[in-house]
Structure 1
């Protein structure tokens, strides 16, 4: 089955590498997959939501035909800002902001020292992000995490594509890092599915996640 294009957008501290083990599962199910990196995880504190959103737009412009976007965690912010040209969205434990909101604003403030430009990897990363990932694979992932520009959590967005496009939410029932306020927001979507386990099912439950992506895409039409 040809399911069309699937653009995979990683969250904060992550890069396109995080999809390496999921992509074969998706391709075996008929997806033409594309992955990308976000500028805000390049080590430059000058990169924020605007730069990440433009990177998403560029990635979408490079694809012909129907496009589904899979956004993980923070990626929901630039995807919401920039992915209005997509056909459907899948928010995997992803931040859904309304116009005028920022992540820090929704959370009631920052969790880091004011004036911080680059945020170190959350600790303990193994427990917060990869709790149910096999040891060797979790070590591989932790070694690849990179500092994150703090600007992305402070800048408000102007768009919310998830409010306009067919959108599904996938939530992780044992997620230790995804804020409850965003969990509750996604849980109100018309199409919601749940996976057991941690914030990173693209490593721990690859087959199950690939099946869910196929299922929700078919329901969204």
Structure 2
């Protein structure tokens, strides 16, 4: 419950490419200790030949299991299916893009980076070389190595599929820039963050849920506790702004 007796929303945390729900374990412990209900989702494109629509359905299925409002926290690639899903869900109060792809309708991950769409979108993108440096540069060594060992190939189709809807145009959103990110450089995050109603920064690499879960948990709860109607630092969703 909030201070005025209103039930808190449930936090749905959505992982990025090559990862799985396991990556949120440290953060969800912090959030649980703060009295928040949390849920995770397993995106089928990590480890299976699935595309954006499959991932979107997985997010929507989890949102339908939530009784009441939800705040969705999307990391990295997870921002793409979340953007599509929240346009269709009726219970999302806010979206938090954590070093995530806040794309618009018609855009894809490969297209955003100016990369060609493969002629054959089937198959997988291998786990990147040196994932510890890329994803976990500020995570303690043993924990970083353990995380890297759990990464799985990512479906190529998930990177080439384009969005058909952009939920952030109607649902309030906040962007969290990871200032020392080696996977999604801060300059790209700054561009994407311009689509959000508010922006925060955290002095972390790409995976603050592993490197600084306490600080990230405090920031997420601060965002989730604030109203999403344009007050207290939040602007209106893009579709409602006079810009």
* Residue 201 to residue 3, structure 1, CA distance change in 2 (3 Å): same
Q: What is the aligned-residue RMSD (CA, Å)?
A: 1.9
**Partner residue in 2 for 1:44:** 48
Is residue 94 of structure 2 the alignment partner of residue 91 of structure 1?
no
Cα distance, 1:116 vs. partner? 6.3
Q: TM-score, normalised by structure 1?
A: 0.93
Moved over 3 A (4+): 110-116, 179-183
User: Counterparts of 1:99 and 1:77 in 2: how far apart (Å)?
Assistant: 10
Structure 1: gaps of 5 or more residues: none
* Residue 111 to residue 25, structure 1, CA distance change in 2 (3 Å): farther
* Residue 118 to residue 3, structure 1, CA distance change in 2 (3 Å): same
Is residue 83 of structure 2 the alignment partner of residue 77 of structure 1?
no
* Structure label with greater radius of gyration: 2
User: Counterparts of 1:91 and 1:165 in 2: how far apart (Å)?
Assistant: 12
2:62 corresponds to which of 59, 63, 72 = 59
**Count of matched residue positions in the alignment of Structure 1 and Structure 2:** 219
Q: TM-score, normalised by structure 2?
A: 0.85
Mapping for residues 114-133 of structure 1, pairs under 5 Å: 117-133=123-139
For the 8 Å contact 2:99–2:178, the answer to whether it is kept is: yes
User: Counterparts of 1:113 and 1:157 in 2: how far apart (Å)?
Assistant: 19
**Partner residue in 2 for 1:214:** 221
Is residue 144 of structure 2 the alignment partner of residue 138 of structure 1?
yes
Is residue 6 of structure 2 the alignment partner of residue 6 of structure 1?
no
1:199 corresponds to which of 206, 210, 214 = 206
Structure 2: gaps of 5 or more residues: 2-6, 229-243
Cα distance, 1:115 vs. partner? 5.4
User: Counterparts of 2:225 and 2:178 in 1: how far apart (Å)?
Assistant: 21
User: Counterparts of 1:112 and 1:14 in 2: how far apart (Å)?
Assistant: 22
Cα distance, 1:28 vs. partner? 1.4
**Partner residue in 1 for 2:238:** none
